[in-house]
């Protein structure tokens, strides 16, 4: 891909947009960045961009800025139905995302992992297994480090393990993973994609460019995920925590097993009891990682040792501390209803649940039966509070907390020894926080400030 002297516009100054702008500039492109936020909101980012010779447009998108470009690179946080993007696409101008741009320069093989829930844990675990096996391993993507920042370290003998989101997959064209994984597809980001069907279609794009020499790992218990098997040219492997399967990883009795091909003998990998992560959903994440690792040639012994040594990822059902016999867990990454249900299902009961944030057109009534069984009190926060309270009224005791601080204080006052205080909000964080990580850190600090 030749970029020298090309006029390239980067839309959106998130982490990946900034990385893309600097990369493009280093490749000799004439780069402009455009963001809907004003200059005050971007005062930390603008000086370094200007120093690098990158033109900056803030406070909205100028259509002429878009139309004068040879290439447009869109950050994941920018919707593709932004009016200016719709117009230039209609004019036939090339529009790609940061993932697609990076994939054209990234050396070595790619393992790409997507799903509504579990992406970060699975991506991190696969990376740890590969490193334990002595493989040259890079980890990035939606997990926090933009893919474009891996290019300089990549080599032909390296494997890049990437967490990829539906937002990133919307704009892929030539992105070609060696092994791709779809963990699950449940309603999420419907405010962005418009429908569940559109969202599922975006996830399925992970395998569009895969061929007969590639592998696709799918969840054998997730109907929407199963549908992708008929849309790929790759070799399909499955994982299931509920039943034996013909090709892939599964739980049988108290063991995780792997079958390399249909008709082959199942190979024991590790006892389920050695998985250090809480919750049935994390068993599924481990099964997916086992599939990937065995397909990549990692031995069962190395996989077992790496899984045993693995620690819960920050903000994913992360144990914070115990205060007066009450356990506090941070699952700020539970940004949709399905993730929250999986977090709640990880505990037998006695749960004080903090819910709320920015709504994503979610249906909170899906949680009703589970909350009735296991949750003592729901504490609502953020702009989605009123909708949550309306949809779950009469199901469980509810308290309108408004802020995280009030929610933690109220839960701490009400909980008794043996109870669990769980942050699993079922919403995005952008109404009150910078991102889910910021929300989780605030929760953790509030918990650490509680008096023993």
Whether 176 is catalytic: no
Is 142 among the catalytic positions? yes
Task: Compute the distance between CA of residue 444 and CA of residue 56 in angstroms, rounded to an integer.
Answer: 36
340 and 355 Cβ atoms separated by less than 8 Å? yes
Distance, CA of 329 to CA of 315 (rounded, Å): 9
Going across the sheet that includes 215-219, the strands are 136-141, 158-163, 109-114, 179-182, 215-219, 235-240, 248-252, 255-259, 267-271
Which of 22, 61, 109, 119 is the catalytic position? Answer: 119
Among the listed residues 117, 142, 219, 330, the single catalytic one is 142
Q: Pick the catalytic residue: 22, 61, 189, 278?
A: 189
Cβ contact 96:269 at 8 Å: no
Mark whether 435 is an active-site residue.
Answer: no
The residue whose two tokens read 């400030």 is 449
C-alpha distance across the termini of the chain, in Å: 59
CA distance 135 to 297: 10
The candidate with the shortest Cα–Cα distance to 150, out of 121, 114, 111, 180, is 111
CB 54 within 8 A of CB 29: no
Give the integer Cα–Cα distance in Å for 302 and 413.
45
Q: Which of 85, 102, 121, 143 is nearest to 282 (CA)?
A: 121
Residue 339's Cα: distance from chain center in Å? 11
Q: Which residues are known catalytic residues? A: 119, 142, 189
């Amino acid at each position: 891909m030749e970029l020298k002297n090309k006029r390239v516009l980067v839309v959106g100054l998130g982490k990946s947009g900034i990385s893309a702008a600097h990369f493009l500039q280093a490749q000799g492109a004439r780069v402009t960045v455009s963001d809907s936020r004003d200059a005050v909101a971007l005062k930390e980012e603008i000086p370094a961009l200007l120093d690098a010779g990158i033109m900056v447009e803030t406070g909205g998108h100028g259509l002429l800025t878009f139309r004068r470009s040879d290439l447009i690179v869109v950050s994941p946080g920018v919707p593709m139905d932004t009016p200016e993007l719709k117009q230039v696409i209609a004019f036939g101008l090339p529009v790609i995302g940061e993932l697609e741009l990076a994939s054209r320069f990234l050396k070595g093989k790619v393992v790409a992992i997507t799903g509504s829930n579990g992406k970060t844990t699975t991506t991190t675990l696969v990376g740890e297994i590969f490193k334990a096996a002595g493989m040259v391993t890079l980890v990035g993507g939606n997990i926090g480090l933009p893919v474009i920042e891996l290019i300089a370290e990549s080599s032909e003998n390296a494997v890049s393990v990437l967490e990829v989101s539906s937002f990133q997959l919307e704009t892929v064209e030539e992105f070609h993973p060696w092994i791709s994984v779809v963990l699950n597809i449940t309603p999420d980001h419907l405010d962005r994609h418009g429908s569940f069907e559109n969202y599922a279609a975006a996830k399925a794009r992970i395998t569009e460019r895969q061929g007969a020499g590639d592998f696709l790992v799918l969840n054998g218990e997730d109907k929407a995920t199963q549908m992708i098997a008929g849309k790929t040219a790759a070799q399909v492997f499955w994982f299931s925590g509920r039943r034996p399967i013909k090709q892939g990883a599964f739980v049988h009795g108290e063991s995780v097993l792997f079958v390399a091909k249909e008709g082959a003998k199942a190979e024991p990998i590790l006892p389920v009891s050695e998985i250090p992560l809480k919750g049935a959903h994390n068993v599924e994440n481990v099964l997916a990682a086992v599939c990937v690792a065995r397909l990549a040639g990692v031995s069962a012994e190395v996989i077992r040792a790496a899984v045993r040594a693995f620690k819960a990822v920050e903000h994913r059902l992360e144990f914070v501390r115990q205060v007066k016999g009450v356990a506090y867990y941070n699952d700020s990454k539970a940004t949709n209803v399905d993730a929250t249900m999986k977090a709640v299902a990880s505990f037998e009961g006695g749960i004080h649940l903090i819910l709320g944030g920015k709504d994503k057109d979610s249906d909170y009534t899906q949680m009703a039966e589970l909350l009735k069984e296991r949750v003592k009190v729901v504490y609502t926060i953020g702009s989605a509070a009123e909708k949550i309270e309306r949809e779950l009224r009469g199901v469980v005791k509810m308290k309108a907390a408004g802020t995280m601080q009030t929610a933690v204080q109220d839960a701490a006052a009400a909980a008794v020894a043996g109870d669990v205080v769980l942050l699993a909000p079922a919403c995005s964080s952008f109404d009150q926080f910078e991102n889910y990580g910021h929300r989780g850190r605030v929760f953790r600090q509030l918990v650490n400030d509680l008096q023993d």
